[in-house]
Structure 1
Amino acid sequence: MPQLPRLMKAVVTTGIGGYDKLDYREVEVPQPGPGEVLLRVLAAGVNNTEINTRLGWYSSSVRAGTGETGGDPELRDGGWNGATPFPLIQGTDCCGEVVAVGPGGEASRIGQRVLVRACMRPHGFGDPTTVWLGSNFDGAFAQYVKVPAGEVFAVGCNWSDAELASIPCAYGTAENMVARAGVGRGTRVLVPGASGGVGSAVVQLAKRRGAEVIGITGAAKADAVRAIGADTVLLREDDPVAALGEECVDVVIDNVGGAGFAALLRLLRRGGRYVTSGAIAGPVVELDLRDLYLKDLALIGCTAWDERVFPDLVAYIEAGEIRPLLAATYPLERIAEAQEAFGRKDHAGKIVLIPPR
């Protein structure tokens, strides 16, 4: 087992607020206990969830879109599962190398390049309770992180560390929604926000299953969305009902929400499915219940990942069936700059942080 340092660099989020709450400093390297492994973090993706948690956006009192709250320190219920345990090392996406195992662990795992299943089901897959890396316990915005050994998956591929780090949160969320929606060959799927981390993953994963995919994005990103497989691309300013007609899609997979929600239900055919795991443009929407019940629609909320989601993603990677959009990488100490760039939404795909070696 290699000799490990006592201290490491990490970004510690100290509470709800602005970039001043991101404290890049030295902390102790965590020690793996029974059933745990220690990873050297090779790369860590940037997600809405880290910014939302720092801003307290998950509070039921927030009505604005993501990144639009003022980071009010009074938003004590602003985390995924209520209050966030600040101070906290955030970082939901982790590509790492196993460098140590806890007592009784499998030493043969040392040296493996791995991904961490960020969404963990502590009571088993029959219970929807979740625990998340970087939200409920210290995550990957550090040089080292300890995680349960059962949540670590070795991946054999020639991808870069940064490409692998773009997978867990975005692709896990996307595959979970695509699977629950029953997307298959010939399914017509509409994807608002198709150039984002989750949206671009949905496009690829739906196409992998043989679906027809319609993506919605900004004009500057339309070519990128076509390049990853979208059959049709609408621009954000287009009226989707006028462009496509009512009752023309089987499934809407939407992490945007906001003012465009009502039109999306009009696009669904009878018996269609609307699936969501986010609300970038705003969590409070207008719902005409007649659109819901007169067309026998299903509204499906997705947070807890089903058991097959992550093993299947690893298999897709190793078979060369998906490839992420990597927008940019930043050194870990420039996390505020990376999150600011993320918030501008000028990029397509994922932004990834690289810890010091």
Structure 2
Amino acid sequence: MNTIPEYMKAIILTGHGDFDKLEYKEKVKTPSPSANEVLVEVHAAGVNNTDINTRIAWYSKSDADSDDASWSGNALQFPRIQGADVCGTIVDVGENIDKNRIGERVLINPCIKTANGKALEQPWYFGSECDGGFAEYTAVDSTHARAIKSDMTDIQLASFPCSYSTAENMLTKSKVKSGEIVLITGASGGVGSAVVQLAKARGATVIAITSQTKALEIMDLGASKTLNRKDSFVETLGRNSVDVVIDMVAGEKWPELLDVLKPGGRYAVAGAIAGAEVNLDIRTLYLKDLSFFGCTILEPEVFENLIKRIENKDIKPLVAKTFPLSQIVEAQEFFLEKKHVGKVVLQVK
């Protein structure tokens, strides 16, 4: 059994702000698992929009006031170790956890509903309301460390938890089924490319909105058709032509997404990278009998279903680039260029 060091390397977020709020430290106290927790040696951790949004206080609805600038709408506690996407190995367990779990290869469910054996009134996000995986070790409630059996690399597996669980949750809540037509915005991003694969795995026909330079890659993932971001969705697809819209973008073109939905169509959203405020003609919503789904907290079956998809090789990892843990700033700079398809992953071990 490996000896667990007293100190570890980690990325510390010291407050809301620019890249200077991220500090790489080589002597951070290694966490110890409480009674119902496991200690995970982190092998790889993915980079997400959530990490950046949390750092810059994007979640705040009051002019980036730090009092509500977190995933839960509460003030974030600093210093904080971010990182929602974790692949690693359990190296220690709390007193209430079976020691046979030591040695398990795991993915961490980033939507934290239980902390130290107690259900939370308001779920946390891993790396936001609690410390996450941008470190050599992380502690989490045992229920959120899910064993996985796969021949994929740690880097590949770390590309799944956050983006793919978000994608699967959107498809689950909007009840996407075989034979339906699904329109996906932001299809080249981590979540978008995951939705393309997962919707295709459900038997849906996928139409993806992406840049022209990335269209072929998205078609290879399972899209039947792609649209350029600047295209008129209505002119290209026609009104009332889509069963479900899966949206990560919002922004000024948002009303067109409702125009292309069929009467009785469903709209699911988990991001707003083109702008959080949109123009809604409420008549479109009620006259077309549309259903809206905000997708943050994972449905109970989502992460388990995702694990099965990975183990069955129904979906494939899409890693754009890897960086060492110490290069978190370079990783986020690359991420923000938005020239890649798929995920950016930090290699920790």
What is the letter of the counterpart of residue 221 of structure 2?
Answer: I
- Unmatched 5+ residue regions in structure 1? 63-71
2:140 equivalent among 147, 166, 188: 147
In structure 2, C-alpha distance between the alignment counterparts of 1:325 and 1:190, rounded to whole Å: 20
- Unmatched 5+ residue regions in structure 2? none
1:75 equivalent among 66, 69, 79: 66
Percent sequence identity is 49
Match of 1:88? 80
In structure 1, C-alpha distance between the alignment counterparts of 2:95 and 2:112, rounded to whole Å: 21
Match of 1:100? 92
What is the Cα deviation at residue 4 of structure 1?
0.9
What is the Cα deviation at residue 228 of structure 1?
0.3
Match of 1:133? 126
Within 5 Å, which residues of 2 pair with 1:184-333? 184-333=177-326
Within 5 Å, which residues of 2 pair with 1:341-352? 341-352=334-345
Which secondary structure state, in structure 2, belongs to the residue aligned with residue 130 of structure 1? strand
Within 5 Å, which residues of 2 pair with 1:112-123? 112-122=104-114
What is the Cα deviation at residue 127 of structure 1?
8.7
CA contact (8 A) 2:167 2:195 kept: yes
Match of 2:37? 36
Match of 1:60? 61
What is the Cα deviation at residue 86 of structure 1?
1.3
In structure 2, C-alpha distance between the alignment counterparts of 1:263 and 1:76, rounded to whole Å: 34
CA contact (8 A) 2:208 2:227 kept: yes
CA contact (8 A) 2:114 2:143 kept: no
| 1:107-133 Cα deviation digits (max 9, x unpaired) | 111111100001022399x99831111
What is the Cα deviation at residue 318 of structure 1?
0.8
CA RMSD, aligned part only? 1.5
What is the Cα deviation at residue 160 of structure 1?
1.0
Match of 1:66? none
Structure that is richer in strand per residue: 2
Which secondary structure state, in structure 2, belongs to the residue aligned with residue 193 of structure 1? coil
What is the Cα deviation at residue 61 of structure 1?
3.0
In structure 1, C-alpha distance between the alignment counterparts of 2:70 and 2:120, rounded to whole Å: 20
Q: Give the length in aligned residue pairs.
A: 345
Match of 1:22? 22
In structure 2, C-alpha distance between the alignment counterparts of 1:223 and 1:235, rounded to whole Å: 12
Which secondary structure state, in structure 2, belongs to the residue aligned with residue 265 of structure 1? helix
In structure 1, C-alpha distance between the alignment counterparts of 2:223 and 2:97, rounded to whole Å: 44
Match of 2:102? 110
What is the letter of the counterpart of residue 105 of structure 2?
Answer: R
CA contact (8 A) 1:56 1:76 kept: no
What is the Cα deviation at residue 159 of structure 1?
0.8
| 1:77-96 Cα deviation digits (max 9, x unpaired) | 21112211111000011001
What is the letter of the counterpart of residue 48 of structure 2?
Answer: N
Match of 1:8? 8
| 1:175-217 Cα deviation digits (max 9, x unpaired) | 0010111111111000010110000111111111100000000
- Taking structure 1 as the reference length, the TM-score comes to 0.94
In structure 2, C-alpha distance between the alignment counterparts of 1:206 and 1:128, rounded to whole Å: 31
Which secondary structure state, in structure 2, belongs to the residue aligned with residue 258 of structure 1? coil
